Homo-oligomer: A and B are copies of this chain.
Amino acid sequence: MDEINEVLRKAPLFEALGEEDTAALRSSVNEVRLGRGQTLFGEGDEGDRLYVILSGKVKLTRTAVDGRENLLSVLGPSEMFGELSLFDPRPRTASVVAVTDSVLAGLGHDDLRPFLSSRPHVSLQLLKALAERLRRTNDVMADLVFTDVPGRVAKALLELADKFGKESDDGLHVHHDLTQEELAQLVGASRETVNKALAEFALRGWLRIEAKAVVLLDVERMRRRAR
């Protein structure tokens, strides 16, 4: 279980804590295991826990009234979610579904609040993380308005590469574990258009398409296409 300690330490929320604080928290952590496709909680559910991903990937999704889905983000190891409800106790605004088999660490809000009050660092860290997210979200919004679908796909792939990419001799492997449908929901486009964009990129030799993954061959051109 030292594994847990190590991943927790990397999570932005906890890197500000010392040995003993981390240890104190550890006791109130519970572990959750999810299989691919399994949902942790749904939009509208009540919930007062915060989660850190120990291994695997999850997606945060929102569902429109007519059933269409929108993918807010894909999170990997040491990333955190569910923290918004720490501050105002409203129902969850997104669903969380495992994209691969995953292990999560869950923390009750009540166990966390003492740390917020007594350790200013922790609040500051959280504020920083939220500010970061806010900037990023604004970027994504601007892209939705100004960039066409191929551009958004390129950008999304590059971001996924930052998170999950593994450099190897035949290119930058990005095993995102998403279907093209999910990719489409992530960039706010239809499955077909995303498919065509990917095909176009492959045709030009900028990437190779694999099952639930892409191999980036010409990152520079992808970058240029993204803007």
Contacts and interface: CB of A to CB of B under 8 A. Distances in A.
B128 A127 contact: no
A227 B126 CA distance: 33
Contacts of A126: 127
B141 A144 contact: yes
Interface stretch (A49-57, A81-89, A158-166, A212-220): A81-89
Contacts of A146: 64, 66, 68, 70
A137 to B, nearest CB: 5
Count chain B CB atoms within 10 A of each CB in A118, A124, A138 and give the residue with the most.
A138
Nearest to A68: B146
Classify the interface of chain A: helix, strand, loop or mixed: helix
Nearest to A185: B145
A135 B70 contact: no
Interface residues of A, number: 39
Contacts of A62: 138, 142
Given A130-B127, A133-B134, A134-B134, A117 B116 contact: no
Interface in A77-129: 83-84, 86-88, 93-94, 116-118, 120, 123-124, 126-128
Determine how many copies of this chain the complex contains.
2
Nearest to A133: B134
A199 interface: no
B227 A142 contact: no
A142 B69 CA distance: 9
Nearest to A85: B131
Nearest to A65: B227
A137 B127 CA distance: 17
B141 A134 contact: no
A29 interface: no
Interface of A: 62, 64-66, 68, 70, 72, 83-84, 86-88, 93-94, 116-118, 120, 123-124, 126-128, 130-135, 137-138, 140-142, 144-146, 188, 227
22 contacts: A62-B138, A64-B142, A68-B146, A70-B141, A70-B146, A84-B134, A84-B135, A87-B124, A88-B128, A93-B138, A117-B120, A118-B120, A120-B120, A120-B123, A127-B127, A127-B130, A130-B131, A130-B134, A137-B138, A141-B188, A144-B144, A144-B145
